[in-house]
Structure 1
């Protein structure tokens, strides 16, 4: 009998204090067996989460990609991303997390554009600034009797998010006021996240953006190095991978869920993009 796969658990990190916001510092030499089992189980976070690794050794798998994180690195995880920790030794890490309700709308828009984000190495002075800001935020979180308690921790965490976003934008050589190509690409990626199941042709996105297909392709390829079709395929295949590993749906059901009534076509596409059949991918990644 096949092993039953439970739904992907959500770690309530942002809501651990009942506020939708978390700021803390962790010092961990080694995870005990129970903690190691929990960390190694694939899960999502309930908020937009940032981890500043000041010391130690961490390996994390994010949406089936293994990433080795070095000190002093900053990593950002979007609530949609499925991840698990495979190595966590002699670690000193600052953590802050905030859910959509309390995150500044402008920051949310930028984070959606940044996802997926690679870990970035920070300068010593930036690490010190972020670490001090987390420490201050933790002190605010102790003052629950203050009349503006929630406002103070909300502002503190949003300030940390703003500092973090600035680092990602700087190292990615991005700009909040990008040129026309960047603006079109950003709009396309937003539409893609909302419509990838029903709209799988570049023409659908070009129509929504009121531009021609060649111009849309020119903008996206100039900004990202890849075509519109590539981005559509990659987004669909990522969701297929998640469902194959973390759900009990039959492969034909997954194809239908993702908008493919033609199962053989879906299977060929998945194999072409990943180099494995859907069944082979599922079997390889079962715990």
Structure 2
């Protein structure tokens, strides 16, 4: 597979030699890598992707941000994120691929899973290092999931849903303990809603006032709120999302720079180039050359 293209995988295309499920896959990391050697190159998924490392070294890049691979780390990726990895020797652990709709038949609230902090779509927030006790508990849950994946017992999918939700709650509690701030719940709701709106409208809406109107707050309040929660203004968060999509598109050498500028709603190629260089320090052409 060429590194100059971002391949998008669905769950069925990453099966493990058994009848492929369109909803979920759980596997040991060593078996998964052996079955799919090409997935070390940059790619994206149409599903939620989780990786839990119990041993080994290397690096994992999510949306162009690099993280070290270490024992006890969990990586959570939402559909559409671009990632790749480089391992030094043998790596052990577990991997889960699960469709966005897997829990919909089980939960009344279709957006429930999105509320966990590691599914924000922000790379750094999707990386959680577990202490030893939590790491052992999560590994035990993965082992139970592997049993259920091969089970012919009734309600095996429901057991998988329960085990995965239990894992999400355990990991979320660890992540929340690491956050020393005690924010009121409505702050997290507003932040999640803002990020969701940015994800939906960043191609067309570039100004904080547009999102403030949709959220029924003032632009000044939205900027102050974002600085408090994330250390960035609302405008910076919108801009970062545009830059991220530009990088994702630039990996594919079959798409011209002018086409990317058009897709991202820039007036022309020159404006896009100036925007990209101002915030990334290189032109789109230079970025493409360096990443290939």
User: Under a length normalisation based on structure 2, what TM-score does the superposition of the two structures give?
Assistant: 0.85
Say whether residues 1:125 and 2:124 are aligned partners: no
Tell me by how many angstroms 1:21 deviates.
1.6
Listed one character per residue, the Cα deviations across residues 9-34 of structure 1 (whole Å, up to 9, x for unaligned) are 31537973415122232347xx77x9
Partner of 1:151: 158
What is the correspondence of 1:161-172 to structure 2 with a 5 Å cutoff? 161-172=168-179
Tell me by how many angstroms 1:137 deviates.
1.4
What is the correspondence of 1:251-270 to structure 2 with a 5 Å cutoff? 251-270=257-276
2:234 is aligned, of 192, 212, 228, to: 228
Distance 2:23 2:186 in 1: 36
Distance 1:122 1:253 in 2: 43
Distance 1:182 1:4 in 2: 37
SS in 1 for 2:84: strand
Partner of 1:284: 290
Listed one character per residue, the Cα deviations across residues 198-231 of structure 1 (whole Å, up to 9, x for unaligned) are 0001110111111111111111111111111111
Structure 1's 237 and 207: CA in aligned 2 closer, same or farther, altered over 3 A? same
Gaps of 5+ in 1: none
Tell whether the 8 Å contact from 2:115 to 2:192 is kept in structure 1 after alignment. no
2:191 is aligned, of 161, 185, 198, to: 185
Gaps of 5+ in 2: none
1:26 is aligned, of 21, 29, 35, to: 29
What is the correspondence of 1:7-22 to structure 2 with a 5 Å cutoff? 7-10=6-9, 12=11, 16=15, 17-22=20-25
Distance 2:26 2:209 in 1: 44
1:113 is aligned, of 99, 107, 120, to: 120
Listed one character per residue, the Cα deviations across residues 3-62 of structure 1 (whole Å, up to 9, x for unaligned) are 99445231537973415122232347xx77x965x1332111342222221111131121
Tell me by how many angstroms 1:134 deviates.
0.9
What is the aligned residue count? 278
1:215 is aligned, of 217, 221, 226, to: 221
Distance 1:240 1:180 in 2: 32
Distance 1:93 1:171 in 2: 23
Tell me by how many angstroms 1:112 deviates.
4.0
Tell whether the 8 Å contact from 1:27 to 1:92 is kept in structure 2 after alignment. yes
Distance 1:149 1:238 in 2: 38
